[in-house]
Structure 1
Amino acid sequence: MASNRRWILVAALLAPAVVLPLWVPLYDREDPTFAGFPFYYWFQFLLIVVAVALTVPAYLLATRADRDARLRHGLPAEPDGTGLSRDGGEAR
C-alpha cells in the first residue's frame, strides 16, 4: 500500500512538469517582461527549473519504490543489468 502512495506522489510531482508547458494560454503574452525578455520566454526558462526541481524528487521516490517492490518479491535490490534469469542463465 505504501508503494502505491509513492507512485501516486511520483505522478503528482511529474504532472505540473507535463501540464504547465501544454497550457499555452497561461503564458501566451508579452507582459510582464523580465530583463527585457517577454513573459513567454522567461516563463519557458522558469518551467525548465521547475521541471528539474520536480523530477529529481520524483526520480528518488520512484527508485525507492522500485527497490522496495523488488525486495518484497524476493529479487535483488538492484537489477544486475544482464537480462538473464537467476536460475538458468537464460534470457528472459
Structure 2
Amino acid sequence: MSSRGRWVLVGALLAPAVVLPLWVSLFDREDPTLAGLPFFYWFQLLLIFVAVGLTVPAYLLSQRAERDDRVRHGLPPRPGEED
C-alpha cells in the first residue's frame, strides 16, 4: 500500500472517533438502560473504547506512512538518524 493510501486509511479510522461523539441525536435518549445507566451515558463510555480501538491502529499506520515518506524524500527513516 502506498503512503498516500495509508494516510487515507488513517483518516478513515479516525473519522468515526470524531464524528460519532458529535452526532448528538444518535445518543440523545434514555432507553435502553444498562445497569441502571441511561443510554446516553453508557454509549459515550462505549465510544471511549471504540475511539481507542480506532486510534491505536491509526497511529501505527501513520508511523509507517511517515517513515515511508521520509525514505522516499531521501531522509533517514527516523528524525535525528544518520544515513
Q: TM-score, normalised by structure 1?
A: 0.85
After superposition, residues 35-50 of structure 1 pair within 5 angstroms as 35-50=35-50
Q: Does 1:71 align with 2:75?
A: no
Cross-structure match for 1:11: 11
Q: Which runs of 5 or more residues in structure 2 are unaligned?
A: none
Structure richer in helix, relative to its length: 2
Which protein has the larger Cα radius of gyration, Structure 1 or Structure 2? 1
1:33 to partner: Cα distance:
0.3
Cross-structure match for 1:21: 21
RMSD, matched Cα: 1.6
Number of paired residues?
Answer: 82
Q: Structure 1: which 4+ aligned runs deviate by more than 2 Å?
A: none
Q: Distance in 1 between matches of 2:74 and 2:31?
A: 56
Q: Deviations over 1:30-50 (max 9, x none)?
A: 000001100000000000000
Cross-structure match for 1:89: none
1:9 to partner: Cα distance:
0.4
1:63 to partner: Cα distance:
0.4
Q: Tell me which of the two structures has the higher relative contact order, counting C-alpha pairs closer than 8 angstroms and 6 or more residues apart.
A: 2
Q: Which runs of 5 or more residues in structure 1 are unaligned?
A: 81-85, 87-92
Q: Distance in 1 between matches of 2:63 and 2:40?
A: 34
Q: TM-score, normalised by structure 2?
A: 0.93
